[in-house]
Chains A and B, each alone.
Chain A
């Protein structure tokens, strides 16, 4: 069970949240080629490691926010609001990882 720190309500169980897939995908304009449109619609980063993703606190405040989470350990490295800058790899490292590094 993930414990997700909602930036509005505090830490709650995974069951209260809805997963919204990869974050920071920008919709291109209507002039793009089929390849670029298909890349926007379907292709995903899907990394083994830190993944930037959206979550919605469905059974809580109902707000969307961003999470940087490790897809191997499931450790949540950073939580930030919609519209805030994407953290760089250096500042998403959690204490735990810094110790190991």
Chain B
């Protein structure tokens, strides 16, 4: 891997930027791998990266049916936070946030991580009370969170309309929360995994799993069969389809979640703002676009495009809280397929098939979990035992009734 540095950049600039190496090699699939990871999104690449760098398993392939950054990692709204209610979730997501804090340096790739703060608004006395309880719980979990009065909110977000139809009565902030350039994360991980010896194979769709008894021994792909001692599923919106190939059922519903950006303007919003009641979240990207998101379309969908009603609701909610955005034109709108679980907690760990591991059910909040998801899955694959941080995220929780119902604490409801 050619390291990136200021001096190297100057050197390349003087030569007209014509001699940069590709960030990762185009690999042809080998006949056999120790671990095959299905899905080249953030979670798949992070798992491969940590397997190769922390757990010493380097004969690894990542199979991506499209191109790196073309799936959900390039479609989410870049939010990174760990303000979760339950101890299991908080420990996991804070591990992720802590890894993010040093990841740019570790990957030698600028992820443009901005810890600009993540603000949640309250619009009624009841919501304020619930927020007090949530903040207490977050702090007991060892995560940072502070209450904000309407005046403090106005100071941080001057454009915010406090006298909306449902007036803003307060809120809380996680100061360490913020956003990351999502493409940079997936490119940085692909580059680092490649340099650690991982084969990244794009345009390679998995069409079936090779099973021997109740054990996985390989995968069938559009580029032919590949033998594998172990395999992991990390396919964001397609977990149900892969589980069907493996012969087990999962408690997942796939839905389309949309996001939209306006035309770029000068910096006007310096933090992430989310309103669970009015149902929207908003931030401004580094290149000036105001980024909006809200609820998912209400029916099963693999279409990767959203319907007009959800856009209308999102925009109406955004204008209620930020009326000054009314003259901005929407520039782009897109959608990703999100795998929603009944308790909005991911499903991670072993599966009913031996040597097959699952990282799925990320719903609408998988992006922020990428480093922790990769680290804990790599541990799980290397040791054939769930990492302690994900021990309660297994598929068996639905049978024993140990759900981790994070619905109330996970941003806007979907």
Q: Do A and B come from one complex?
A: yes
Task: Tell me the A residues contacting B by CB distance below 8 Å.
Answer: 1-2, 14-15, 18-19, 21, 34-35, 38-39, 41-48, 51, 53, 69, 71-74
Within the assembled complex, what's the spacing in Å between the Cα atoms of A19 and B302? Answer: 16
B27 within 8 Å of A (CB atoms) = no
Known: A1-B308, A48-B241, A74-B303. A42 touches B398 (CB 8 A): yes
A41 touches B238 (CB 8 A): no
Within the complex, which residue of A2, A15, A44 is in contact with B253, where a contact is CB–CB below 8 Å?
A: A44
A34 touches B240 (CB 8 A): no
> At the interface, is chain B mostly helix, strand, loop or mixed?
mixed
List 19 A-B residue pairs with CB atoms under 8 Å apart, sorted by A's residue number: A1-B308, A18-B298, A35-B399, A41-B398, A43-B251, A43-B398, A44-B253, A45-B240, A46-B240, A46-B250, A46-B253, A46-B254, A48-B254, A51-B300, A53-B300, A71-B301, A71-B302, A72-B303, A74-B301
Distance between A54 CB and nearest chain B CB, rounded to angstroms:
11
Nearest CB to that of B342 among chain A residues?
A42
B251 touches A44 (CB 8 A): yes
A21 touches B307 (CB 8 A): no
Within the assembled complex, what's the spacing in Å between the Cα atoms of A94 and B287? Answer: 45
Within the assembled complex, what's the spacing in Å between the Cα atoms of A99 and B109? Answer: 50
Distance between B369 CB and nearest chain A CB, rounded to angstroms:
21
- Residues on B with beta carbons closer than 8 Å to the beta carbon of A47: 240-241
Task: Tell me the B residues contacting A by CB distance below 8 Å.
Answer: 238, 240-241, 249-254, 298-303, 307-309, 342, 398-400
Within the assembled complex, what's the spacing in Å between the Cα atoms of A9 and B238? Answer: 35
Within the assembled complex, what's the spacing in Å between the Cα atoms of A73 and B400? Answer: 37
Distance between B399 CB and nearest chain A CB, rounded to angstroms:
4
Within the assembled complex, what's the spacing in Å between the Cα atoms of A21 and B309? Answer: 19
Inter-chain pairs besides A48-B238, A53-B300, 12 sampled, C-beta below 8 Å: A19-B299, A42-B342, A45-B240, A46-B253, A46-B254, A47-B241, A48-B241, A51-B300, A71-B254, A71-B300, A73-B303, A74-B303
- Residues on B with beta carbons closer than 8 Å to the beta carbon of A48: 238, 240-241, 254, 302
Within the assembled complex, what's the spacing in Å between the Cα atoms of A71 and B252? Answer: 14
Nearest CB to that of A48 among chain B residues?
B302
B250 touches A43 (CB 8 A): yes
Query: Ordered nearest first, which 8 A-B pairs have the shortest CB separation?
Result: A42-B251, A46-B240, A43-B249, A38-B399, A19-B298, A48-B302, A19-B299, A42-B398
- Residues on B with beta carbons closer than 8 Å to the beta carbon of A72: 302-303
Distance between B95 CB and nearest chain A CB, rounded to angstroms:
27
